[in-house]
Amino acid sequence: MKIKKDTLITIISLIITVGILGAGYWWFNRGTLETAKSVIPSPSPNNEPLSSSESLPPPSSPSSVTAFSPPTTVSQGTTVVIDGSTSMVLVNQALKNRFEQQFPGTQVSINAQGSTNGIKALLEGNIDIAATSRPLNAQEKEQGLVAVPVAEDAIAVIIGFNNGFRKSLSSKEVKEIFQGAIKDWSQLGRASETILVINRPKVSGTHKIFMELALNGEEFAETFNIITMERDATTPILQKLGNNGISYATYSQVAEQQTVRVVPIDGLTPEAANYPYKRQLFYAYKNPPSKQVQAFLGYATSPIGQQIIQDIQ
């Protein structure tokens, strides 16, 4: 009878031990499960599945514009070579003079072979900065070029001083003149004479912008009364106007000329804020910018540089 009692006690002890172990096992696994749930992302609202294909912000462009700080010092022997737009000759010259004066021992070399030729020289590594009177196109940007706006300008429609036309032209009439629909001054109210239209070459940034602004992006005509200059230069155009010629040029280059007159467009002169043929002028560089490029563009875009440009316009 004593043996049976001992056996019963042993069985009860085993049951209690197993119960304690089972409770511990359950408690341990409960904590682990709660921890796992806390790191599993909750389902998205409306039971929408999670997706890893959502669009990410685009990477920054290698051709994004960099803001250049105004230089405080520039090393002696620094040279900056600029070529490009004939419309920016006065801007280039004014900045060159003051830059070299403020930083003795530096040299700024300037030329004006047209915007497209300047951009080509920049891509080929022959110059430091291209002066351009038109924005860069997509292909030029893809090759690492960046354009920094430095000034606003207007394109003036010009005739010879002794031309008998004394009125304003409408935007529609300008387009018709340069596309060959109007060929005689009598169609505009003055004595009959063939209109000589003098166009700039395609390498000219002013040519491209005038085509966009005045011709709505359409091409110039190739009629008998329209001639295209071989070189993008303003002085030969002014000399060729005579009494029956008409052309276009950056306003700052002709505003003080005594041999030509600027024709108002839609009753507005180029000084007007809403004059229709306004455009930006740019300096373009190739990424990454060299030290001399950073110095010159920092100067050109500084308050001092902007005042210099404003003074000549």
From first to last of its 313 residues, the chain has per-residue pLDDT tens of 444 555 555 555 555 554 555 555 444 444 444 443 333 333 333 333 333 333 333 333 334 446 899 999 999 999 999 999 999 999 999 999 999 999 999 999 999 999 999 999 999 999 999 999 999 999 999 999 999 999 999 999 999 999 999 999 999 999 999 999 999 999 999 999 999 999 999 989 999 999 999 999 999 999 999 999 999 999 999 999 999 999 999 998 999 999 999 999 999 999 999 999 999 999 999 999 999 999 999 999 999 999 999 888 7
For the chain, domain boundaries: 79-152+281-312, 153-278
CA distance readout (Å), 99 to 53, 133, 298: 52, 22, 11
pTM for the whole structure: 0.70
Domain 79-152+281-312 CATH assignment equals 3.40.50.80: no
CATH number for 153-278 (one of 3.40.190.10, 3.30.1340.30, 3.40.50.300, 3.40.50.720): it is: 3.40.190.10
Q: How far is CA 96 from CA 64, 105, 110, 306, in A?
A: 26, 13, 8, 13
How much is the pLDDT for 67?
81
Do the two domains 79-152+281-312 and 153-278 of this chain adopt the same fold? yes
